[in-house]
Amino acid sequence: MIRRAVPDESATLTRIALDAKRYWGYPEHWIKHWESDLTVLPEFISHNQVYVAEQAGEIQGFYALCINRTKAELEHMWVAPAHIGTGVGKELFLHAMENATSMIPASRTGRGIRSS
């Protein structure tokens, strides 16, 4: 199930982002360098479109869309290492793109979606 994240889940989302980055074999000093970018604060969750994939009470991954009047940016997209390759990432990505296109009218931006 994909649902909105709540601010109390910030530590769990941060752990998933850091663990997912480690999964790809980056050296720990790089992880430390990226730590502030990968930290998901409660305020970030409150002010942005943050969604989690959850099954049986376990958060398997998440994404965050930052929306303004003319664009939606995919700020975070992380899957817990135990769930990489299971389709969770695909479900999250499709959900994110559906949300982005529904929130930003294509007539205002040409496409409505930007991922970085």
Summarize pLDDT for 11-52 with one digit per residue, the tens: 999 999 999 999 999 999 999 999 999 999 999 999 999 999
* Domain with 47 in it: 2-115
Alpha-carbon separation of residue 115 from 8, 63, 69, 93 (angstroms): 26, 12, 16, 11
Q: Please classify residue 77 by burial: count the beta carbons closer than 10 Å to its beta carbon, then call 0-12 exposed, 13-18 middle and 19+ buried.
A: middle
CATH number at residue 110: 3.40.630.30
Do residues 23 and 31 touch, judged by C-beta distance below 8 A? no
When pLDDT is averaged across residues 67-84 and rounded to a whole number, the result is: 92
Asked if the model's pLDDT at residue 7 lies above 70, the reply is yes
Q: Tell me what pLDDT residue 56 has.
A: 96
pTM score, two decimals?
0.87
Asked if the model's pLDDT at residue 109 lies above 50, the reply is no
* Residue from 41, 38, 36 nearest 8 by CA: 41
Handedness of CA 116, 49, 79, 92 (dihedral sign): negative
How many domains does the structure of the chain reveal? 1
